[in-house]
Each structure stands twice: as structure tokens, then as C-alpha cells.
Amino acid sequence: KVTYINYLLEKIVSRMEPIAKQKNIELKLILNEKIQIKIDEGRMQQAIINIIDNAIKYTQPEGIIEVELYKKEKHAIIKILDNGVGIPEDKLPYIFERFYRVDKARSRNTGGTGLGLSIAWEIITSHGGTIDVDSQVGVGSIFYIKLPLEK
């Protein structure tokens, strides 16, 4: 089904806003242009929610999360930035694996099974897309979902 990814992001962000607000985290949505794309809306919504859910979970109160949509060459890019705890460089290769969690002691009190990112990865790659991450401990993380605009 052809979907305006803008509307999907608006829907997701308004759904996640109350959860962010509980931690006094600002959840910003930056839509630069309208982008139409062929996706399985329900599954893609799940993938994006999993990433925003992490951004909220691994960011301290008063933090900031930005969700941004833009076009780059023949792709739609959804950028999800947070200024949270970050991920050590040597752990980055494993975060998309099933059941992997960076710091079991630290993340015990945040809950979770370590499946969210593996599910997101599966959904995004099955759409012909990719997911990449830039992160720095103590600074934050940026996840990039890249989806092809045409088949």
C-alpha cells in the first residue's frame, strides 16, 4: 500500500508523546517534505515505535528526541536522534541481534527483552531498506532508517 510517511510519523509521534512526557522528554517531529512510499504501514509503524521507545527508555529526564524525515538521493530517510546514554562503539555491531542488551545490570531497571531492534531490523530490511546507527556514550544516539523511494 502506498502511504504518506509524513502522516504515519505524525500518528506515531502523537502516540508516543504522552510516554515521553512522563519523563519530561521533548519529542520533536521535523517534516521537511511530503514523501509517498510503498510500505506495510502496520509493520513499519511497529519498527519506528521500537526505535522511539528505545530513545525514550535510554534518555534521561529532560532529554530531547528528534524524529526527522527527508529525501536523500533515491531514498526516504527517517532520522531518530536522542541525547541519551549512548552505546559503546564495541557494542554497536550486536544491538540488532535478538535478545542482545548492552548493559544487563544497567538495563535491568528499564525492562525489556532485547528484541525491539531485531524486529525493527527485520521489518526495515524486508522493505528493501537499511538501518544504521551513530552513537557516543554520554552524548546520544542517531538511528537512520533508509527506505527506497521506488522499486
Q: Per the structure block, which three cell numbers stand in for 102?
A: 548492552
- Using CA atoms in the order 117, 120, 122, 128, what is the torsion angle rounded to 10 degrees? -130
Which of 12, 95, 124, 145 forms a contact with ligand ATP (CB under 6 A)? 95
Specify the 3-state DSSP secondary structure of 27. Answer: strand
- 35's contact among ligand ATP, Mg ion, none, with CB below 5 to 8 A by partner kind, is none
Task: Considering only the stretches 3-11, 15-23, 111-119, 128-136, report the one whose residues sit in contact with Mg ion under the rule CB under 5 A.
Answer: 111-119
Q: Do 135 and 102 contact (CB within 8 A), yes or no? A: no
Output 36 or 136, the one with its CB closest to ligand ATP: 136
Cell numbers for 120, please give them.
525493527
Provide the grid cell at 67.
524524529
Q: Are 79 and 64 in contact (CB under 8 A)?
A: no
Residue placing its CB nearer to ligand ATP in the complex, 39 or 55? 55
Tell me: does residue 102 bind ligand ATP (CB under 6 A).
yes
Q: Which of 93, 91, 96 is nearest to 123 (CA)?
A: 96
Which of 16, 58, 75, 83: binder of ligand ATP (CB under 6 A)? 58
Q: At its nearest, how many Å lie between ligand ATP and the CB of residue 116? A: 2
CB of 47 to ligand ATP, least distance (A): 11
Taking CB under 6 A as the criterion, the residue among 35, 67, 69, 82 binding ligand ATP is 82
Count of all residues that appear for the chain in the document:
151
In angstroms, the CA 95 to CA 51 distance is 12
Interface residues with Mg ion (CB under 5 A) are 54, 116
- Residues at the contact surface with ligand ATP, assessed by CB under 6 A: 50, 54-55, 58, 82, 84-87, 95, 100-102, 107, 112-118, 141
